């Protein structure tokens, strides 16, 4: 089956015609981006990524946005669990991957990282948020629900004993 992936150009500084409407259509990503904009307004640019993670976690709490910070998702190869696992920065609303960066410019490497998280976890929506310039930027990635990566196809062989490590499974729709 062919994978369908759509990158929606969302930029914090963009006009409504350039992508802001995409976020408004999804109240979850709109709320997450709003929280990130507030963090950027308060902290500005030039800090290490971890400070933005800490501040965004607090902003999620202030706004009542449900999240998990750096949850672990096991990957599978031919239905066998691999020892390594994925750790996105945040999972919000149990359905949106949020990956933060503090770089002067986003490259293919950062885009590949969030695409790998979408593929490995089976989630459909990912946000790549960059705090590294004077204007915070964000890109939203949408994966088609018709495509299920090999890594998350049932059956999942066992449940993890560590409650902080989640097996990669297709999120409920």
Over residues 84-116, the pLDDT tens digits come to 999 999 999 999 999 999 999 999 999 999 999
Query: At residue 3, does pLDDT exceed 60?
Result: no
35-71 pLDDT, tens digit each: 999 999 999 999 999 999 999 999 999 999 999 999 9
What is the pLDDT confidence band of residue 168, given thresholds at 50, 70 and 90? low
- Does pTM top 0.85 for this prediction? no
Calpha distance 8→22 (Å, rounded): 8
Can you give the pLDDT at residue 166? 52
Calpha distance 51→101 (Å, rounded): 11
Question: What DSSP line would sit under 120-143, residue for residue?
Answer: HH--SEEEEEE-SSSS-EEEEEEE
Query: At residue 23, does pLDDT exceed 60?
Result: no
CA count, 13 A, side-chain hemisphere, 98? 30
Name the β-bridge partners of 69.
90
* Structural contact between residues 35 and 60, judged by C-beta atoms closer than 8 angstroms: yes
User: How many other β-carbons are positioned within 10 Å of the β-carbon of residue 37?
Assistant: 16
Burial 125-157 (b: 16+ CB within 10 A, else e): bbbbbbbbbeebbbbbbbbeeeebbebbeeebe
> What does the mean pLDDT of the chain come to?
79
Walk me through the domains of the chain, giving residue ranges and CATH numbers: 5-167 (3.40.91)
């Amino acid at each position: 089956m062919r994978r369908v992936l759509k990158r929606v150009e969302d930029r914090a500084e963009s006009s409504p015609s350039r992508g802001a409407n995409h976020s408004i259509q999804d109240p979850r990503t709109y709320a997450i981006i709003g929280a990130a904009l507030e963090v950027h307004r308060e902290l500005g640019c030039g800090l290490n990524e971890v400070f933005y993670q800490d501040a965004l976690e607090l902003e999620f709490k202030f706004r009542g946005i449900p999240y998990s910070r750096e949850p672990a998702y096991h990957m599978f190869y031919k239905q066998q669990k691999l020892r390594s696992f994925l750790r996105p920065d945040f999972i919000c609303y149990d359905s949106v991957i949020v990956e933060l960066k503090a770089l002067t410019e986003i490259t293919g490497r950062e885009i590949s990282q969030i695409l790998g998280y979408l593929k490995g976890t089976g989630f459909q929506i990912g946000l790549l948020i960059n705090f590294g310039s004077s204007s915070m930027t964000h890109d939203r990635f949408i994966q088609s629900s018709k495509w299920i990566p090999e890594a998350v196809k049932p059956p999942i062989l066992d449940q993890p004993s560590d409650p902080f490590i989640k097996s990669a499974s297709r999120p409920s729709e």
